Amino acid sequence: MSTADELKQRGNQQFSSGQFAEAIVTFTEAIALAPENHVLYSNRSAAYASSKQYNEALQDAEKTIGLKPDWPKGYSRKGAALFGLQRYEDAREGFKEGLKYDANNAQLQKGMDDVERAILKRDHPEAVGGIQDIFSGDLVGKIAKNPQLAPYLAQPDFMAKVHAIQKDPSALNQHLQDPRMMNLMMGLMGVNMSSGFGADQAASEATPSVPMDQDQPKAPEPEPEPEPEPVELSEEEKQKQESLVEKDLGNQCYKKRDFEQALVHYAKAWELDSTNITILTNKAAVYFEQAEYDQCIATCEEAIDVGREHRVDYKIIAKAFARIGNAYSRKDDVPNAIKYYQKSLTEHRTSDTLKRLKELEKKQQEEEKLAYHNPELADKEREAGNALFKNENFAEAVKRYTEAIRRNESDPRSYSNRAACYIKLMAFPEAHKDCEKCLELDPTFVKAYIRRANIEFFKKEYTKCLETCQEAKSHDKEHKHTWEIDQLINKCYQALNAAQSDTPEAREEAMRRAASDPEIQQIVSDPVMQQILQQMQTNPQAVREHMRNPAVASKINKLINAGVIRVG
């Protein structure tokens, strides 16, 4: 994994080679790793501007200034982007703002000159090739270099006129009466003046020049191209670059599975730069592929220590922890693998590491269950629970049955017995869950059906209780539980008969139970059943026809048993 500095250097190289699109991608990757680094936004702004993506260049320039308001380069980037958008006045303000922080900045001064020239072209196209050329650029410098013109610099009134024409070429007409102005223009055009300053005419042997009244076609000024951030390398930085070269060579060998040569290059890279921990994590990857897991772990631990010391990106630290976890996983050391995956996720959460952690945690649970599995001890715990149950110590009995289940979770008897305890403790949801688990393991377990039916009776779900009793009877092949089942059925019918009584209390109780029974509510809300119930009210004879349909008959019986339909 490359660091932000490595990506920055690569982006600068791509920019210098004219690979602007590639540079944009590289700088974007670097920004993801170091989002507060103003230089990265500045460099990407330059790459955007070189690709004529001026809006994006302006956004990055604004971000650069926001991160470091006193850095002139940010204003240079902003001015260049605005220039590209032909927002010349805004560009001029941007360059001016930068010059407040560095009045001698050549790039900002050049930007100002380019903006002034562009504004002149836009507002006074007639001046292009004429006055603009004469008065453009470093005019004071041009005058100072000409011995015949230099004395004008000491004449403030005249220089004020010159500066006025620089800003507005159309102002020339106002100052042509001043003979010094003609001398200046002739001198700037390269005409030798034999009569000295103040002469009204130029010498006849003057060198050819472009007449003032002609427009000479001129090639358009090139757009100002932003430059990459200059890189002045110290000896240490040169070593770091050499280290990156060795690291890349190691990466190439790794991809070719030439692991021994990869280790040689990584060793050289680390010798040149002992702060770049990605060299160590890559080296650890080689050891991992060679199944040298202890060396892989030791190398990653070294990388983490160095990384902490140099405050490297937490994502790289997370990667080192994850690689240690991978090594322990290969060593089948599940607890340590889990430990280091958790450390990795603390540094940086990734879906890959999270997935591996969950898989190992599941594996650990399965191994623990397997190690704890002991049917003989399970039987002893169940028998102890039975003794406690007989003594009506139901809470302690639950603990014994729970331990029996942990020792042998495939024995349905422990679930059934624990359900009996929960019923005594009035914990009906837990009891019902144990009955269901017992029947899942053994669908013929009669006692579990009876206990479930008792739960349903206590909950006044009489219809369900009757159905469960019928299931219990169907599996009671030896009729060992016939009397118990019949007793429960009788109790159900007595409760239903009481519910069918036409007293206000009975009707209210029946409606309350029906409202809390999802199955009854589903039957009542069924449009087909609603139509059938309406027919039964208007035409009682229709009941016989509907009762011939088993599905409809079952639903009607449930409504009768629930007290929703009353017969008599």
Residue 532 belongs to a domain with what CATH number? Answer: 1.10.260.100
pLDDT digit string, tens, across residues 428-471: 999 999 999 999 999 999 999 999 999 999 988 888 899 999 99
> What's the pLDDT at 112?
87
Per DSSP, 565 falls in state S
pLDDT digit string, tens, across residues 153-164: 878 888 888 888
Please report how the helices 106-123 and 88-101 are oriented relative to each other, as an axis angle in degrees rounded to 10.
Answer: 160
Half-sphere exposure of 155 (CA within 13 A, CB side): 15
Whether residues 322 and 438 fall in one domain: no
Whether residues 59 and 150 fall in one domain: no
Amino acid at 247: K
Whether residues 338 and 396 fall in one domain: no
Residue 285: inside a domain = yes
pLDDT digit string, tens, across residues 532-542: 878 777 776 77
Boundary of a domain, candidates 86, 104, 123: 123
Residue 24: inside a domain = yes
Boundary of a domain, candidates 382, 410, 442: 442
The C-alpha angle with vertex 191 and arms to 185 and 194, in degrees rounded to 5, equals: 110
**Please, are residues 466 and 489 in contact by the beta-carbon 8 Å criterion?**
yes
- Look up tokens 């929960």; give the residue: 422
Residue 200: inside a domain = no
Question: Helix, strand, coil proportions of the chain in percent (round to 5)?
Answer: 75, 0, 25
Residue 77 structural domain: 4-123
Residues 6+ apart with CB under 8 A from 337: 325, 326, 328, 329, 360
Tokens of 567: 């017969």
DSSP H helix total and E strand total for the chain: 30, 0
For 393, phi then psi, to 5°, come to -95, 75
Give, in order, the Cα–Cα distances in Å from 486 to each of 416, 436, 468, 472, 568. Answer: 20, 22, 12, 10, 25
> Per the structure, how many domains does the chain have?
5
> What's the pLDDT at 56?
93
Give alpha helix (H) positions in 170-272: 179-188, 235-255, 259-272
Tokens of 141: 């410098």
- Enclosing H/E stretch for 168: none
Boundary of a domain, candidates 417, 442, 467: 442
Tokens of 91: 């560009």
Phi-psi region of 75 (alpha: psi -120 to 50; beta: other; left: phi over 0): alpha
pLDDT digit string, tens, across residues 10-62: 888 888 888 899 999 999 999 999 999 999 999 999 999 999 999 999 999 99
Residue 252: inside a domain = yes
> What's the pLDDT at 367?
80
Is the pTM higher than 0.85? The answer reads no
For 461, phi then psi, to 5°, come to -95, 70
DSSP string, 337-378: HHHHHHHHHHH---HHHHHHHHHHHHHHHHHHHHHH--HHHH
Residue 483: inside a domain = no
Whether residues 292 and 279 fall in one domain: yes
